[in-house]
Amino acid sequence: MIDAHYRWVIVAAGGLLGCIAIGAMFSLPVFLVPISRDTGWSVTGISSAMTAGFIAMALASMVWGSASDRWGPRPVVLIGSALLAASLALSSLVTSLIAFQLVFGVVVGGACAAIFAPMMACVTGWFDTHRSLAVSLVSAGMGMAPMTMSPLAGWLVTIYDWRTSLQIIAALAAVTMIPAALLLRRPPVLEDPNAVSASEGQPDMSLGQALRSPQFVILLLTNFFCCATHSGPI
């Protein structure tokens, strides 16, 4: 019964973590003009950090997902949360465009990957019923990011400069995401190593086998074209 109730705590934590993480990354469009005016960097150069972030997120997701399978979601998401807050703060201090692209793009994107993939796997593992609802609620939390974090960033930049605004967002990420990450637990079925494979009736797969499986390829292509159809026009 405790597990049945606690699984909804995992969902709430996942929604909050995703909202803050994705929202922090998607705050960059709000800062484009203020950053360009303050530094003289081109808007194209600044916005390319977002492209670097998406690439880093895609590649790092496989690494963080494998780490989550091995050590559980809590340490992975905790590291990702701390890394995200630190990289946002560091982004506000850089003085060159290439440094901004590397820090806000590669490091922030890689940190967000530590939230997205492990949280989805964690929530899925906690539910044998209402699984679709749980995953949808976590996804909804991430979808709320542009409706919450972007307006917050827009409001901050009307009061402070972009560097101070980004530091405030970094502090917000630290004080909300790190405590939320501490609420995470490994799904109960994974606590019994003998029950992991038996519970689904499927053999264990290595990372290489999973990457070569038809299911992975289909999911990869589906996700790619889904993102391409909305990211391209945006």
How many degrees, rounded to 5, is the angle at CA 122 between CA 136 and CA 52? Answer: 80
Q: What pTM does this model have?
A: 0.82
**Collapsing DSSP states into helix, strand and coil, what is residue 127?**
coil
110's enclosing H/E stretch is: helix 108-126
Provide the residue ranges of all domains of the chain, joining segments of one domain with +.
Answer: 2-193, 204-234
**Collapsing DSSP states into helix, strand and coil, what is residue 186?**
coil
pLDDT per position as a tens digit, 160-199: 999 999 999 999 999 999 999 999 888 876 665 554 444 4
Among 8-17, 42-51, 136-145, 167-176, which is the least confidently predicted range? 136-145
Q: How far is C-alpha 88 from the chain's CA centre? A: 14
Check residue 41 and give its pLDDT.
93
Q: Residue 49 in contact with residue 105, Cβ under 8 Å? A: yes
pLDDT band at residue 75 using 50, 70 and 90 as cut-offs? very high
Residue 209: pLDDT over 70: yes
CATH of domain 2-193: 1.20.1250.20
